[in-house]
Structure 1
Amino acid sequence: MTTSIYQQIASELNVRDAQVIAAVTLLDDGNTVPFIARYRKEVTNGLDDTQLRNLESRLGYLRELEDRRQVILKSIDEQGKLTDGLKKDILDADTKNRLEDLYLPYKQKRRTKGQIAIEAGIEPLAHSLWQHPEHDPESEATRYLNAEAGFADTKAVLDGARAILMEQFAEDAALLDKIRRHLNHNAELQARVIAGKENEGAKFKDYFEHDELLTKVPSHRALAMFRGRNEGILQLSLNADPQQDEKSTGSYCENIICSHYDITLDTAPADRWRKQVVSFAWRIKILMHMETELMGNLRELAENDAIRVFADNLKDLLMAAPAGPRCTLGIDPGLRTGCKVAVVDNTGKLLDTATIYPTAPHNKTVESARVVMALVKKHHVDLIAIGNGTASRETDTFVAGMLKDAGEKIQTVMVSEAGASVYSASELAAAEFPGLDVSLRGAVSIARRLQDPLAELVKIDPKSIGVGQYQHDVSQSQLAKRLDAVVEDCVNAVGVDVNSASAALLTRVAGLSTTMAANIVAFRDENGRFGERKTLLKVPRLGPKAYEQCAGFLRVMKGKNPLDSSSVHPEAYPVVKRIADNTGKAVNAMIGNHDFLRSVKASEYADDTFGIPTVTDILAELAKPGRDPRPEFKTATFADGVNEVKDLLPGMVLEGSITNVTAFGAFVDIGVHQDGLVHISALSDKFISDPREVVKAGDVVKVKVMDVDLARKRIALSMRLNDEPGADNKPASRGNANRDTRSARPQERSQPNRAPSNNNQGGNSSAFGGAFADAFAKAKRK
């Protein structure tokens, strides 16, 4: 790997070259990102997990670029065409597009019209007419007639000469670069409905005649238009000259071609032919190439943005506050098939199950209350978790009435059941509960995800959790890679109890493979709980390298060594021992002793192996061993009597929880089976460019109802509680900047349904919702 790669990554991340070199060396040595971020701060000078993930991604791209560079250099050299100037250009190429442009003239390809003409000896004519417009094309062409090669008349000869130049222009890297820069700044993306598809594609109606500057198309609109094209509703094209008079027959890009080759088209004998060459080269060769490339780039950027949105929301969901080890009763609501009930103890172990029918059409309220209260008393239930799918509010009302009648005060929480049915039917659930009906497994998952969202959600494919934006329109491999990294970072940030963790959770620990995780569980089942971390080295297939990577993230609670329950890595235990020896304090006496630990100076115990950052982390961990980085547990309280969309009235102030954050706003569960949208313009009184500056998934917020569309179940909300429905509510600062180009676009207004637990559509991933935003905008304008 060349030094330039280090320098480029360092520049992009705004860090020093030495930090990048150190991180790359660690990654190449098989170290994981969580391990490097947490336990190798001295080596990387404090690069965090986000920086390391970005570094890892760019490193992969640039290495692929370097590999491709070497293949191209070798190929051109073998052809005997590698000049010093070309070699320099190839070595300087910093993108794959630029590299492929340079290689285009030398790439092996099928015989083209231009090549056939060259083989027939017509190339001298092409260059002669191009460089000497005073020559008469017809007269000159007669000298190149070659019937055997297919050039029996002057028209065929001139067409062949034109094809030669067209292909050469289309392979001129410098010319392509100039045109690309022009298009990137000036071209528009055009969307048009395919004739006859108006009714079938009504959900894309805002794009039936849509023009937008290519560089200004946000990711959600781009993906919506690409989806419309894929479904055969929309036709997308590139308009290179949006400012040009409609009567004009040429493109500004043709002027770029003329300027590049320093020619002027006038009235010389060959100028008409030369103008054809320029026009055909642009329209037939270069435009098609550029349209494919630029739309591909737009799609790639849009997909990356959508993947980032999903990753950010997933992280917020996984890092949501756990209710903790409390006996919990989970209810998976239902109507005709009844509500499935499961009780788990404070460790998540299944204790009991039942099926009740408190809602329509059965309405067995009394019998259902008797069953549930019996389970509550039998198992001393401390929490009740209700899934937020079909019949959730009816079930919530039933539980509230039951507890009131019984005089019980048990906290009831509405829990997202996204992905619960996916887990229920999985091999993992079958192995965990082989004799339990599939429908009851969902209730177990709902109860457990209230106790510890992270521990339960890791059992589900992240893509099935459904907090994304157009998740099915993006590269599934890239999405899976990014989401897996998020899950890994979250799991390792929290830490895992090795004596209670499932194999699914252990698999996400740095350094552990699926096989190692299964072996840990099998070893634990056979030999009993782990008494200390170093016993992990006895687990089959778990060698010293894997132990180094995972040990700091695995906790042994109440074990032989008190440090085993902390995030202090075993390799750093000697540091703690030195502190103990020097101060005369036993390790047990140091843990949690804030006053003492504040008096210890990290610099006095730093050395060449463990620097000040690591010693500082050790002292912080000793002060609060095993601390959980997740926030304090709290839930939204839904308003009594507001159970359906029809119960909402403009002006109501309600409490809710953020379920999904997108580029254009945030969706809020206010307890009516349908999330409402707080548009980005209504999130704050000040200007914001990203909704995540204000909210994240799981936040409990107060919102005001601005508009309700009963027919389409669309709810417009505002977090600016001074806003009045029907008023022109502008942000207090920077005018109305938050509403600039973000309004009146269907994808910005599309809204996730309160979906059943198997919904993996990614929330706002549809192209629906134009009317909702119209209603939202209207409510703000009135």
Structure 2
Amino acid sequence: MTTSIYQQIASELNVRDAQVIAAVTLLDDGNTVPFISRYRKEVTNGLDDTQLRNLESRLGYLRELEDRRHVILKSIEEQGKLSDGLKRDILGADTKNRLEDLYLPYKQKRRTKGQIAIEAGIEPLAQQLWQHPHSDPETEAASYIDADKGFADTKAVLDGARAILMEQFAEDAALLEKIRRQLTQHAELQSRVIAGKENEGAKFKDYFEHDERLTKVPSHRALAMFRGRNEGILQLSLNADPGQDDKSTGSYCENIICDHFKVTIDSAPADRWRKQVVSFAWRIKILMHMETELMGNLREMAETDAIKVFADNLKDLLMAAPAGPRSTLGIDPGLRTGCKVAVVDNTGKLLDTATIYPTAPHNKIAESARVVMALVKKHNVDLIAIGNGTASRETDAFVAGMLNDAGEKIQTVMVSEAGASVYSASELAAAEFPGLDVSLRGAVSIARRLQDPLAELVKIDPKSIGVGQYQHDVSQSQLAKRLDAVVEDCVNAVGVDVNSASAALLTRVAGLSTTMAANIVAFRDDNGRFADRKTLLKVPRLGPKAYEQCAGFLRVMNGKNPLDSSSVHPEAYPVVKRIADNTGKAIDAMIGNHDFLRSLNAANYADNTFGLPTVTDILSELAKPGRDPRPEFKTATFAAGINEVKDLEPGMILEGSITNVTAFGAFVDIGVHQDGLVHISALSDKFISDPREVVKAGDVVKVKVMDVDLQRKRIALSMRLNDEPGADNKPAGRDKGNRDSRPADNQKRSFSGNQDSNQGSKRDNRGGNQGAVGGAFADAFANAKRN
């Protein structure tokens, strides 16, 4: 069966069997996905990290399926009931549902009404009446009366016979598959408000009377309805026969049961009883089972989609452009308790802190300006990072005025505070800054995440960063696993300076455990900088296997070996030496020499150990050693005077940054403490099925304000700048002559203002548009556009 698993995965990934076999072998040998995708391209023939993650996930599922298959075969065989046909069906089952359907009749279960009737000898009657409808039920049942066994009259006997057939039908794998196929294709999810819950559940109003084809329910609507059910507002059910007004004629699934057993129910003496058997089997046994299964499948698919949204957004956020190693002043804005200020140097080391009170109710503007400008001059500050939470716009206005009065041209950037409070109170922050006030730790984090978002955000549980869709409604274990994989892939794609990285960052490097990461930091503290990669082997508990996995992702800048600062793996250093020997060019002279490296033929240096893909990667890395795959740093500029939702007017064209991308659209920070929604239909002039085809978290975009709901603080935006508020805006060609609405350069800039879609934190709940009713808002906005 292992061969069939490889073939199935290969088919799903559209790759060759040999690639899957090679990848599985590497994974089973303890190799990590980042290591395989980067340094074993010859073995897998170029499978990338996304393919390998999907392969790893499917491999786990199919192996679980295989294990369950063996358990079932053994169980049925021990019962002496494993026929050749049943064994063939079990071996051919390709899903867990199909496998469990086949196992149903043989599964150990508590005594049922049907089993009790069989034990009383009533099964022959059930088969007689089902196969020969011209028999009279009352007459036939009379001979089976046995009060001692609990069947004192013909009604009890006929009920027992009916129970026998109901249970047999509900355990018929072929029948269940036919009904499952019918329901999957045609059934509707039906949502109704529970009487008396209308006011309490107003946020679920769009689902008070909602019907939708099961196959058409998008993940955000499904999760919204499931949340409504969990909160006791909505009642969900499966409508197996949508459009059928007269339910007295029976369900179409009852016809499927009759067709399956090749029976026709007419007016024979036993047909009324047989019709009851079919109806009861469907409504009491099969429908309940199928409703539970299909609802579970819908939820699982919705959760998978939601987790993917979170993972994609997290990847975009982690891979956002770093401002770089520049002296930075971070401000965590506040009102009553003041603004916390921290200055870090170009390596992220904390230099100084302060607390200022430039906002209401204190309004100590002049005093605060003196404090900040003193810090700026003392530490040669290049950047100012302002958290995007409560009082952020007021703080930004203060900083802009201060810099203007002082004649300073320092770039000011609005930075997401998402997860900053979580980091501040964490054991990691306490260990890093044991004597520093918790609130000041947040200012340090804000400054550092501007310098390098990836290095700082890895210190926070990815779930706390909050760029997800209904993140609290999905499987937390699956979410954590997927997000951890994203963080690992991002960290290893960028690489880590082993002499400056925190233990939290090192933990995410391929092959390193938490203990190994801590040991690297301790070794560095005790022995000074790592001079080369080989010294890593002296770190306690970091053995040859861990070194193999991590070495290529750890950089030693300005070390003994110039290759140690590149992504060239130490195992491939002989290839570089061979190139140097053959060309007479010193290794340090080759690095960065584009013209020389471009003149080399990679095939001339490939061999059985290091193939063409590896040599090609080596030459590319030597041309741009240690290059950062992240984009160039850029920011959005917010409009002057637009500070709150009430300042917005339909028709305004503003600049903002994408904070979150969901299945139904994208949320944009336009500087009013409340993200606006660009529905998927307003993202582009052409049809798109996925918002990520157009935008990703952190993108700087221009949007037009289409509608503002002050009461609910909801903002509808469009990226089609030729759309007109209140008009039927159908996709059209882009307006080449849109007026330029870029605000003045001295206004606030926004950087990656992502927010937990479900949180109601102290920050200012700017994620309200993205919360429990995000799907409902999206649908309402779409309807408004259509109408």
Q: Tell me the TM-score range normalised by the shorter chain.
A: over 0.9
The offset of 1:732, in angstroms, is 2.2
The offset of 1:756, in angstroms, is 4.6
Conserved 8 A contact 1:466-1:760: no
* Alignment match, 1:180: 180
* Alignment match, 1:223: 223
Question: Which range moved further: 639-648 or 106-115?
Answer: 639-648
Count of residue correspondences: 766
Conserved 8 A contact 1:752-1:763: no
* Alignment match, 2:358: 358
Conserved 8 A contact 2:471-2:758: no
Q: Deviations over 1:300-328 (max 9, x none)?
A: 00000000000000000000000000000
Which amino acid in structure 2 is aligned with residue 467 of structure 1? V
* Alignment match, 2:260: 260
The offset of 1:687, in angstroms, is 0.9
Conserved 8 A contact 2:651-2:705: yes
* Partner SS, residue 144 of structure 1: coil
Which amino acid in structure 2 is aligned with residue 527 of structure 1? N
Distance 1:676 1:199 in 2: 26
Conserved 8 A contact 1:463-1:760: no
Mapping for residues 575-724 of structure 1, pairs under 5 Å: 575-724=575-724
Indicate whether 1:168 and 2:153 are aligned: no
Distance 2:73 2:759 in 1: 53
* Alignment match, 2:349: 349
The offset of 1:681, in angstroms, is 1.1
Mapping for residues 313-462 of structure 1, pairs under 5 Å: 313-462=313-462
Q: Deviations over 1:171-193 (max 9, x none)?
A: 00000000000000110000111
* Partner SS, residue 435 of structure 1: coil
Mapping for residues 21-100 of structure 1, pairs under 5 Å: 21-100=21-100
Distance 2:365 2:187 in 1: 64
Distance 2:648 2:717 in 1: 11
Which amino acid in structure 2 is aligned with residue 586 of structure 1? A
* Partner SS, residue 54 of structure 2: helix
| Identity across the alignment (%) | 89
Distance 1:49 1:454 in 2: 18
Distance 2:757 2:318 in 1: 22
Q: Deviations over 1:588-614 (max 9, x none)?
A: 000000000001111000001111000
* Alignment match, 2:564: 564
Indicate whether 1:767 and 2:765 are aligned: no
Distance 1:322 1:706 in 2: 32
Which amino acid in structure 1 is aligned with residue 585 of structure 2? K
Which amino acid in structure 1 is aligned with residue 120 of structure 2? A
Q: Deviations over 1:109-158 (max 9, x none)?
A: 00000000000011111111111111111111111111111001111000
Q: Deviations over 1:28-55 (max 9, x none)?
A: 0000000000000000000000000000
Compared CA separation, residues 193 and 271, structure 1 to 2 (3 A): same
Question: Which range moved further: 117-126 or 766-775?
Answer: 766-775
Distance 1:585 1:697 in 2: 44
Which amino acid in structure 2 is aligned with residue 689 of structure 1? S
RMSD between aligned residues: 1.6
Which amino acid in structure 2 is aligned with residue 109 of structure 1? K
Which amino acid in structure 1 is aligned with residue 773 of structure 2? A
The offset of 1:762, in angstroms, is 9.7
Distance 1:176 1:730 in 2: 44
Question: Which range moved further: 701-710 or 456-465?
Answer: 701-710
The offset of 1:222, in angstroms, is 0.4
Conserved 8 A contact 1:343-1:351: yes
* Alignment match, 2:746: none
Distance 1:245 1:773 in 2: 27
Distance 1:654 1:595 in 2: 44
Question: Which range moved further: 570-579 or 246-255?
Answer: 246-255
Q: Deviations over 1:517-557 (max 9, x none)?
A: 00000000000010000100000000000000000000000
Which amino acid in structure 1 is aligned with residue 772 of structure 2? S
Compared CA separation, residues 562 and 516, structure 1 to 2 (3 A): same
Distance 1:520 1:514 in 2: 10
* Alignment match, 1:741: none
* Alignment match, 1:547: 547
The offset of 1:284, in angstroms, is 0.3
* Partner SS, residue 185 of structure 2: helix
The offset of 1:774, in angstroms, is 4.1
Distance 2:778 2:252 in 1: 40
Distance 1:3 1:247 in 2: 49
Distance 2:757 2:589 in 1: 54
Conserved 8 A contact 1:468-1:763: no
Indicate whether 1:127 and 2:94 are aligned: no
* Partner SS, residue 237 of structure 1: strand
Indicate whether 1:4 and 2:4 are aligned: yes
Distance 1:508 1:760 in 2: 30
* Alignment match, 1:746: none
Conserved 8 A contact 1:658-1:698: yes
Indicate whether 1:156 and 2:118 are aligned: no
Q: Deviations over 1:444-472 (max 9, x none)?
A: 00000000000000000000000000000
Structure 2: which 5+ residue stretches go unaligned? Answer: 735-755
Distance 1:684 1:215 in 2: 25
The offset of 1:761, in angstroms, is 7.9
Indicate whether 1:537 and 2:537 are aligned: yes
Which amino acid in structure 2 is aligned with residue 204 of structure 1? F
* Partner SS, residue 248 of structure 1: helix
* Alignment match, 1:194: 194
* Partner SS, residue 24 of structure 1: helix
* Alignment match, 1:743: none
Conserved 8 A contact 1:314-1:486: yes
The offset of 1:727, in angstroms, is 2.0
Question: Which range moved further: 658-667 or 722-731?
Answer: 722-731
Conserved 8 A contact 1:471-1:761: no
Conserved 8 A contact 1:530-1:556: yes
Conserved 8 A contact 2:679-2:781: no
Conserved 8 A contact 2:129-2:137: yes
* Alignment match, 1:282: 282
Conserved 8 A contact 2:681-2:782: no
Distance 1:781 1:289 in 2: 38
* Partner SS, residue 721 of structure 1: coil
Conserved 8 A contact 1:192-1:210: yes
* Alignment match, 2:741: none
Indicate whether 1:209 and 2:209 are aligned: yes
* Partner SS, residue 519 of structure 1: helix
Distance 1:407 1:376 in 2: 13
Distance 2:774 2:141 in 1: 59
Compared CA separation, residues 762 and 260, structure 1 to 2 (3 A): farther
Distance 1:760 1:393 in 2: 13
What TM-score does the superposition give when structure 1 sets the normalisation length? 0.96
Structure 1: which 5+ residue stretches go unaligned? Answer: 735-749
Q: Deviations over 1:360-418 (max 9, x none)?
A: 11111011001000000110100000000000000000000000000000000000010
Question: Which range moved further: 397-406 or 133-142?
Answer: 133-142
Compared CA separation, residues 759 and 97, structure 1 to 2 (3 A): farther
* Alignment match, 1:740: none
